[in-house]
Every structure is written in C-alpha cells, then in structure tokens.
C-alpha cells in the first residue's frame, strides 16, 4: 500500500463513529434518533421516523406481524454525516421482549449511548443492555432525557447509575431546574450556559446564550436564587469525578448529558461530544491475533442476517461490520468458514429509511450484502487470512417451546425453515437427545410469534408451539470426555443438541445448577456459546 493510500485509509477511519442507543422502552429512543438524523441532514423534517414507523415494516411481509402488534423487533442500521464525520447508528429494538439480535448488535459497535428517562432512572432493560455492553467494556455515554418534565433529582440519578450499573459518572452538562422550571443546562467543559426554549418543531437548536457561570448576566438571566443554586451544585460536582477519556474508553466512566430530545435540547452538545470523544473504529480480537482497523487488508464479520426485506425478491441481507481495511463494490472476499472466495453482492447502506448502493466503505462501516444463503451470524470475511472474529456469542435462551408439525408430510420443509431461521439467529433450534422433537429457544418470548408466523408464511408449514417448563440453557463443556459421557447419560432427559451439535442442558430452575455442579464437578456450564471454532 502506498503512503498516500495509507493516509487516506487512516483519515477515513478516524472520521468514523459506530454506536448504538440502549434504553428502556419509552425513554425517547425514537425521538432522539430522529433528532440525530436531523442534525446529520439525513432527514428533513421532524416526525419522519415516527411517521414511517408503520410504513417501514411494510417493507417485509413477516414484519406485518410487528406492524399489527405496533412494535419493532428488528434492529436497523443508519448512516449519516456530521461535521466531517461519518456516523453509523445501529438501532436496537426497544420493546421489552427483545431478541438475541439486540445483544449481537452491540458486538458490532464501538460505543453506546445510554438513554435514560429522567423521571424513571435506570430501568430493567437499560440495565440488561448495559450489562451486555460491559462484557466488552464498551464505552458508554448517558443522556438523561425529558428534563422538560418533572424528573428525579440529578444527584440521585448520578448516584443510581453509579450504584446500579457500577460505572462512575462525569456530568458534562448539568440541568438547571426541571419540568416547568427547566431553564437549560450548564456545560462544564465549555463553561457555557445553554438556555432552554421550548421549541419542538425546529430542526436546529434555538440560538443559545453563552455565558460564563460567574458572569452577573447569569444572575440576570436565571434570577439570583437559581443562579446561586447552580453555582453551588457545580461546586459540589467539581469535588467529584474529573473527566478522564481513558477511563471512558475502558468503559469505567460515563460522560453524562441532560436534555430534552423532544424539544431538541441538548442533542447537539451530545452529538458534538460523540464525534469529539467517542472512539473511532477499534481494533478487534480474533482467535489468532488482534486486527487493527488501519490494516490495509479488508476484513469484516457478519452480525445480523435479515430475510425477506424485500418480499418480491425473497432476499436475505447479511449485515457486516467492517473491521479493517477498505471495501470496494464488486470485490470478492475470503469466506473463512466455507474456505472459499465469495462475491459480496449488492452492498447496501441505509440512511434513515433509504437504501443506497455502496461503492466503498471502511473499517467501522456497516454494510448490508446480498446473502444467497451462504452466511451465518459470526462468519468472518477477509482477504485470504484465516481470521475468526470472536466475541459473537449465542446467549442462553430464556423461553422454550416444542414444535408440533400439523402435517407430518411437511417435515422436510420444517427442517429447512428451522435451519434457515437458526442461521439467521432468529431462533435457537435444540434437538433433545432422547426424542426426535424440535425445541425452540429464544431470549424474548415475542420472538416465538415472529418465528411461527414466518414458518407458516415463508415455508407454508403449519405448526403449533407448546410451552416447555425451562427457563435457561447451559452449554456443557469439559476437556474430560468421560465426564461429558457421564452427564449425557445421567441427565439425558434434559439434554439437547444445538445447531452445531454442542450439548446443552435445559433447566427449569436455575438453582439446579448448584446440584449439577456438585454431581459433575468436571463440567463447566456455560451461559453463552461461542461456536465459531466448532462450527461446521
């Protein structure tokens, strides 16, 4: 690679930011996504994301189901430019009942934005998603939303984030009042006062008054009492955490912002911080070595497969996260699992709701490619090296059903449907070792409706799903083959094989693990399966 080409590559990579928003339903994720897209010029009018919510799902037949239920269970990918940067935002489903897709999405980002409703604080799903991020030490920023409503005391909120999530907080901005008394925020980094004006319709921020905190104009603007309170709060904060970017990058410290997404307030400060301090594409470990984003050779991994995005074509799109080098339209890549060259056809990027073909893309970018049925989640693509990107685990399902085929003559179609849906990661298919049944496992129970609908609609197979009493699965691992044989015999009635023939034990009560551990001390009961090495 020439020095100029290396320079271009470096520059492109430094421009990129790839992140996801994690939040509990209703915290305002759709609203803030829309505001971010507005700043990036990807959409022209507020309300577009919302208005298209219904329409978006019509792009896929099976998503009809989601439309009917008024929810989103798939995540989408959006790209937009901002201030000379290229931002990839991966949407994670916000519904309580979400799928493994959500978890996997988080393996494809370099940082996350945690959105918190100021009145509700840290909620269940935020906590769950945060835990997934912290597994990979993903850097996290927090935006405390809805400050135009009565919210919790900001010090309490900081305290809650620190205690419940175990991450230190550094408030970059600090709110002045809340609800009807919300006057804006003080930006501690820039030492500026940003005054709030209720203005939901504007796509650009209202003109902000920028003043130093000690300025007498602050008293004039806020009133002496409010100004004095703000000064004393900022004083208290200065005794707390200092901003340390290294700690943020290690996932130990969260910069915190306050605002109101609906009123477009605080969003630009957040976006500025995102391009300033959040990481550009990071190196990624593979089973053999750590790959740097600036390496000239292209490599990527597939983290999501979505079928039938276009019902007239019955197509499957595999989403790849580029880890290193440059992608060019028409290129072939080495499909490591299949050990052969594959064409990466119809490379597509998504901007708000529009798709466009991609001519070139760089580390950090997310590109959808046409999948003629050759990709599985976790597959690695390279320019010849046998790299395998680790860290795309299969999580333990929490809900299980047995599949009953209504027409026994359709068992071949059923097998095909289950194979394809499991390759896509839509469901985990488990085969009990003592019968010919098919069990399905999912992380969010809603996924069963989606899978049943798809089996019927896409493969014309009618099935009934019967609930099973299990609530967790653990992968059985041991270096001692005799120990594995012993547990397979001893617990045969609750053991099944996953898609890759790995043995999995199914548990109705998690406390049973303790007994199993005592009885089979040489076995490890793993909560996730990283199947990359054992995959066929």
- Provide the token pair at 137: 């030490």
Binding flag, residue 29, ligand G4P (CB under 6 A): yes
> Distance from CA of residue 120 to its chain's centroid?
22
Minimum distance, C-beta of residue 490 to ligand G4P, in the bound complex (Å): 46
Beta-bridge mates of residue 240: none
Minimum distance, C-beta of residue 154 to ligand G4P, in the bound complex (Å): 15
Which is nearest to 203 in space by CA: 39, 15, 390?
39
Q: Give the count of residues interacting with ligand G4P (CB under 6 A).
A: 18
Minimum distance, C-beta of residue 117 to ligand G4P, in the bound complex (Å): 8
DSSP state of 46: T
149, 190, 245, 370: residue in contact with ligand G4P (rule CB under 6 A): 149
13, 17, 18, 25: residue in contact with ligand G4P (rule CB under 6 A): 25
Pair 319, 328: CB distance under 8 Å? no
Q: Closest CB to ligand G4P among 50 and 493?
A: 50
Q: Closest CB to ligand G4P among 31 and 111?
A: 31
HSE-up (13 A, CA, CB side) for residue 517: 9
Which of 160-168, 254-262, 359-367, 452-460 is the region at the interface with ligand G4P (rule: CB under 6 A)?
Answer: 254-262
Binding flag, residue 116, ligand G4P (CB under 6 A): no
User: How many residues belong to the chain?
Assistant: 536
> Distance from CA of residue 305 to its chain's centroid?
14
Minimum distance, C-beta of residue 145 to ligand G4P, in the bound complex (Å): 5
Pair 499, 428: CB distance under 8 Å? yes
Element (H, E) at 467: strand 463-467
36, 262, 427, 516: residue in contact with ligand G4P (rule CB under 6 A): 262
> Distance from CA of residue 286 to its chain's centroid?
20
Which of 143-151, 218-226, 276-284, 501-509 is the region at the interface with ligand G4P (rule: CB under 6 A)?
Answer: 143-151
Which of 2-10, 29-37, 295-303, 343-351 is the region at the interface with ligand G4P (rule: CB under 6 A)?
Answer: 29-37
Binding flag, residue 261, ligand G4P (CB under 6 A): yes
Sites for ligand G4P among residues 187-226 (CB under 6 A)? none
Sites for ligand G4P among residues 71-100 (CB under 6 A)? 94
Which residues, at least 6 apart from 303, have a Cβ–Cβ distance to it below 8 Å?
Answer: 104, 105, 107, 108, 319, 320, 321, 377, 378, 392
- Provide the token pair at 135: 């597994």
C-alpha span between 427 and 446 (Å, rounded): 11
Binding flag, residue 184, ligand G4P (CB under 6 A): no
Q: Closest CB to ligand G4P among 26 and 328?
A: 26
Q: Closest CB to ligand G4P among 53 and 402?
A: 53
Residue 212, number of CB atoms within 10 A of its CB: 11
3-state helix vs strand vs coil in the chain, percent to 5: 30, 30, 40
Binding flag, residue 28, ligand G4P (CB under 6 A): yes
9, 13, 20, 27: residue in contact with ligand G4P (rule CB under 6 A): 27
Which is nearest to 104 in space by CA: 385, 299, 294, 389?
389
C-alpha span between 376 and 381 (Å, rounded): 11
Minimum distance, C-beta of residue 200 to ligand G4P, in the bound complex (Å): 9
Which of 76-84, 146-154, 179-187, 504-512 is the region at the interface with ligand G4P (rule: CB under 6 A)?
Answer: 146-154
Q: Measured between alpha carbons, how far is residue 336 from residues 102, 224, 316, 342, 384 in Å? A: 25, 66, 20, 10, 8
Which of 141-149, 158-166, 174-182, 418-426 is the region at the interface with ligand G4P (rule: CB under 6 A)?
Answer: 141-149
105, 145, 278, 286: residue in contact with ligand G4P (rule CB under 6 A): 145
Q: Closest CB to ligand G4P among 200 and 492?
A: 200
Pair 78, 352: CB distance under 8 Å? yes
Query: The tokens 């030490």 sit on which residue?
Result: 137
C-alpha span between 160 and 222 (Å, rounded): 28
Binding flag, residue 529, ligand G4P (CB under 6 A): no
Which of 83-91, 183-191, 255-263, 289-297 is the region at the interface with ligand G4P (rule: CB under 6 A)?
Answer: 255-263
Binding flag, residue 26, ligand G4P (CB under 6 A): yes
Which residues, at least 6 apart from 415, have a Cβ–Cβ distance to it below 8 Å?
Answer: none
Sites for ligand G4P among residues 48-67 (CB under 6 A)? 50
Q: Closest CB to ligand G4P among 28 and 432?
A: 28
Which of 145-153, 390-398, 412-420, 493-501 is the region at the interface with ligand G4P (rule: CB under 6 A)?
Answer: 145-153
Pair 502, 475: CB distance under 8 Å? yes
Pair 368, 417: CB distance under 8 Å? no
Which of 24-32, 159-167, 447-455, 480-488 is the region at the interface with ligand G4P (rule: CB under 6 A)?
Answer: 24-32
Q: Which residues bind ligand G4P (CB under 6 A)?
A: 23, 25-31, 50, 94, 145-146, 148-149, 260-263
């Amino acid at each position: 690679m020439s020095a100029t080409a290396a320079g271009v590559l470096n520059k492109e990579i430094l421009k990129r930011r790839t992140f996801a928003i994690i939040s509990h339903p209703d915290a305002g994720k759709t609203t803030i996504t829309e505001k971010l897209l507005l700043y990036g010029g990807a959409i022209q009018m507020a309300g577009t994301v919302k208005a298209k919510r219904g329409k978006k799902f019509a792009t896929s037949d099976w998503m009809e189901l989601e439309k009917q239920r008024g929810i989103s269970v798939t995540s989408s990918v959006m790209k937009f430019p901002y201030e000379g940067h290229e931002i990839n935002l991966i949407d994670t489903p916000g519904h309580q009942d979400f799928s493994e897709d959500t978890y996997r999405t988080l393996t494809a980002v370099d940082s996350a934005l945690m959105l918190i409703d100021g009145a509700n604080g840290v909620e269940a799903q935020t906590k769950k998603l945060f835990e997934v991020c912290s597994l990979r030490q993903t850097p996290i920023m927090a935006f405390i939303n809805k400050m135009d409503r009565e919210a919790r005391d900001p010090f309490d909120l900081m305290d809650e984030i620190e205690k419940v999530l175990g991450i230190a907080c550094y408030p970059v901005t600090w709110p002045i009042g809340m609800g009807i008394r919300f006057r804006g925020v003080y930006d501690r980094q820039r030492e500026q006062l940003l005054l709030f004006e209720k203005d939901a319709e504007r796509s650009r921020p209202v003109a902000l008054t920028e003043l130093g905190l000690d300025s007498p104009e602050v008293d004039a603007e806020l009133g002496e009492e409010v100004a004095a309170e703000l000064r004393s709060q900022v004083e208290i904060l200065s005794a707390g955490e200092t901003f340390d970017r290294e700690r943020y990058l290690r996932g130990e410290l969260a910069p915190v912002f306050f605002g109101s997404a609906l009123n477009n307030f605080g969003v630009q400060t957040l976006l500025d911080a995102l391009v300033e301090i959040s990481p550009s594409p990071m190196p990624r470990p593979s089973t053999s070595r750590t790959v740097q984003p600036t390496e000239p050779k292209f490599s990527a991994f597939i983290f999501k497969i979505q079928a039938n995005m276009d019902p007239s074509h019955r197509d499957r799109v595999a989403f790849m996260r580029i880890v290193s080098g440059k992608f060019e339209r028409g290129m072939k890549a080495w499909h490591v699992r299949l050990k052969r060259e594959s064409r990466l056809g119809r490379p597509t990027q998504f901007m708000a709701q529009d798709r466009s073909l991609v001519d070139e893309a760089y580390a950090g970018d997310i590109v959808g490619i046409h999948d003629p049925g050759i990709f599985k989640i976790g597959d690695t693509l390279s320019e010849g090296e046998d790299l395998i990107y680790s860290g795309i685990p299969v999580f333990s399902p929490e809900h299980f059903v047995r599949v009953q085929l209504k027409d026994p003559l359709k068992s071949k179609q059923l097998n095909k449907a289950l194979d394809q849906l499991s390759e896509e990661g839509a469901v985990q298919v488990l085969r009990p070792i003592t019968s010919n049944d098919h069990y399905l496992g999912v992380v969010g129970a809603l996924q069963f409706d989606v899978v049943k609908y798809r089996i019927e609609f896409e493969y014309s197979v009618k099935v009934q799903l019967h609930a099973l009493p299990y609530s967790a699965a653990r992968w059985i691992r041991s270096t001692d083959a005799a120990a594995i044989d012993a547990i397979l015999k001893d617990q045969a009635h609750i053991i099944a094989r996953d898609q890759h023939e790995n043995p999995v034990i199914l548990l109705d009560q998690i406390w049973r693990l303790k007994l199993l551990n005592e009885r089979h001390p040489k076995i490890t009961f793993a909560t996730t399966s990283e199947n990359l090495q054992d995959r066929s």
